[in-house]
Amino acid sequence: MIDKLRKKLILLYTLTTGIILTVVLILVLIVISQQTVRNKKDTFQNEFMIVTQNFSISNEVSNLWLAEMETKNHLIIHIEDGGQPLWYKGAWKPVTDREILISRLKEAARLDDINMDIRPVSVKEVRSRIYELKGNGKDKYFGQVYVAAVQEGYRSVAVLQYIAGNRSETVRQGILIVLLYLSGMTGLYLVSRWVVGKSVKPVEESRRRQTEFIAAASHELKSPLAVIRANISAIMIEPERADDFTKGIDKECMRLSALIEDLLLLASADAKNWKVKKELIDMDVLLIETYDSFQPFCREKNKRLKLELPEDMLPKIWGDLLRMKQILAVLLDNAVSYTKDNDTIVLRSYRKKNQLCIEVEDHGPGIEAAKKKDIFERFYKGDKSRGDKSHFGLGLSIARELVQLHEGRISVKDTEGGGVTFSVYLPVCQD
C-alpha cells in the first residue's frame, strides 16, 4: 500500500511541477520570441534611418551604395522623385517580386493616410510605422515609408527588409530547448522521488511500528489466554483440584486486565484524548507518600529504598496527581525488577533552574548504550525471550507519554558503579 502511495505521489508531484515547468518554458519562449522581433525591428529602424538620412542630405544617391545596403542587410529600397521611381532594379531578387512587395507596402501606408504619390501639405516630412508584410510564399518582411517635401516637389522612399529565418539556428535552439526540458523533467522526477521518500518515511515507520505493536500485543495476549485454557482443561480432568486451578485462572485474568488497561492508555495517548485533571502538586508530600507506599514492597523483594530530598522545600508543579503517581510507580517498579537483592534503590528530587528533576537510581545490570534509545518503545524488553511474565514492556512507554503530557521530558543514563538512573524533568509552577 505504501509503494502504491509513493508511486501516486511521485506521479502527482512530477506532473504538477512538470505542468508548471511547461507553462514557464512557454512563457519564456514567448518573451524571447517577442524580444527577438523587437531587436529585428530596432535593427531595421536603424537601417531605415540611415537610408532616409542619406536621402535627405543628398540630391543624388549612388546605385553602388544602394546595392551595398541591400545586399548587406537584405533590404529592398524603392525611391521616387515626384512620384517617378528612380531607375534602380535592385541588387538581389526576393522570393516575391519586388514590385508586388512595394505595392503592398504602399497600400499598407495608404491605410494610415500616408500616400507616397502625394506631396505632404501640413508637414515637411512623413514617416510611417513599421509594417509586417507577407510575400506570396512563406517569406516575411518589415516595411516602412518616408515622404519628404522639397522646393521642387517631394521625394519618397519605401524600404523593406527580408526577415531571414536561420533554419539551422532554429533547429539548434529547438534541440537545446527540448534537451533542457527533458533535463528539467528528469530533475523534477528525481527531486519528487527524494521529497516523497522523505515524506512517506514517517508513514512507513509508523506502519512498521504499528505492525510490531500488533504482533507484540498478540503475543502478550496469547500467553495468559493459553494459561487460562490449560487451567480450564485441568479442572475438567481433575475437578478435586479446581480451587488451585481457579487461582491460576484468576492470576492470568489480572495480568490480562493490566495489559488491556495499559493498551487503552497508550491508545488514548495516540488519539490525543488522554484526559488529565491538573492541579498544584506538593512534590515533597507526593515523594514522601510514594516512598512510604513502596517501602514495604521493596522490603518484600529484598531491596532497600532510599529517599533523598533537599533541605529546602521543592517547588510545586502543575499536573495531574494520579498520573504523577503512575510515573513514579512505573520507574520504581522497573528499578525493583532489575535491582539485585540487598541493593539500594534511590528516589531523589531537586530543582534545576526552572525545572524539577526526579531521579530513580538503581544498581542493576544496566542498559547497553545502543539500546538506550529503544527502552521507551512499546513492548521493549531487555530479555527478548519475554520470560518475565510480570512485565509487558509497556511501563516506560506509558511513563514517557505521561511525562510529555506534563510538558516534560524523560531520559536515562548510567549509574556510577553499575545500573541506570531515570531522570524526569518537569516545569515548575512560577510563583
Tens digits of per-residue pLDDT, 12-31?
Answer: 888 888 888 888 888 888 88
Report how far residue 274's alpha carbon sits from residue 61's, in angstroms, rounded to the nearest whole number.
98
Question: Residue 6: in which H helix or E strand, if any?
Answer: helix 2-57
Question: Residue 422: in which H helix or E strand, if any?
Answer: strand 420-427
Give the gyration radius of the chain's Cα atoms: 47
How much is the average pLDDT of 337-362? 91
At residue 199, the pLDDT reads: 81
Q: Are 354 and 427 in contact (CB under 8 A)?
A: yes
pLDDT band, very low/low/confident/very high, at 66 (cuts 50, 70, 90): confident
- Nearest to residue 347, comparing CAs of 390, 289, 301, 403? 289
Cβ atoms within 10 Å, residue 103 = 13
pLDDT band, very low/low/confident/very high, at 129 (cuts 50, 70, 90): very high
Report how far residue 11's alpha carbon sits from residue 5's, in angstroms, rounded to the nearest whole number.
10
Report how far residue 332's alpha carbon sits from residue 345's, in angstroms, rounded to the nearest whole number.
8
Give the highest mean pLDDT range of 97-106, 275-284, 369-378: 97-106
Q: Which CATH architecture has domain 169-270?
A: Orthogonal Bundle (1.10)
Report how far residue 77's alpha carbon sits from residue 157's, in angstroms, rounded to the nearest whole number.
7
Report how far residue 52's alpha carbon sits from residue 371's, in angstroms, rounded to the nearest whole number.
90
At residue 423, the pLDDT reads: 94
Report how far residue 229's alpha carbon sits from residue 242's, in angstroms, rounded to the nearest whole number.
13
- Nearest to residue 422, comparing CAs of 412, 408, 414? 412
How much is the average pLDDT of 305-319? 91
- Nearest to residue 327, comparing CAs of 420, 261, 400? 400
Report how far residue 40's alpha carbon sits from residue 141's, in angstroms, rounded to the nearest whole number.
11
pLDDT band, very low/low/confident/very high, at 77 (cuts 50, 70, 90): very high
Report how far residue 328's alpha carbon sits from residue 343's, in angstroms, rounded to the nearest whole number.
19
Cell numbers for 181, please give them. Answer: 526540458
- Bridge-based pairing state of the strands 344-352 and 304-308: parallel
Q: Are 148 and 162 in contact (CB under 8 A)?
A: no
Report how far residue 75's alpha carbon sits from residue 89's, in angstroms, rounded to the nearest whole number.
13
At residue 358, the pLDDT reads: 95
At residue 8, the pLDDT reads: 84
At residue 386, the pLDDT reads: 37
Statement: 278-427 belongs to CATH 3.90.1150.10:
no
> Which pLDDT tens digit goes with each residue over 352-394?
888 999 999 998 888 887 777 778 776 666 544 334 445 556 7
- Whether the per-residue pLDDT at 428 is higher than 60: the answer is yes
Instruction: Return the minimum-mean-pLDDT range out of 117-131, 135-149, 269-283.
Output: 269-283
Q: Are 252 and 224 in contact (CB under 8 A)?
A: yes
Residue 429 or 60, more confident: 429
Q: Are 360 and 331 in contact (CB under 8 A)?
A: yes
Q: Are 394 and 338 in contact (CB under 8 A)?
A: no
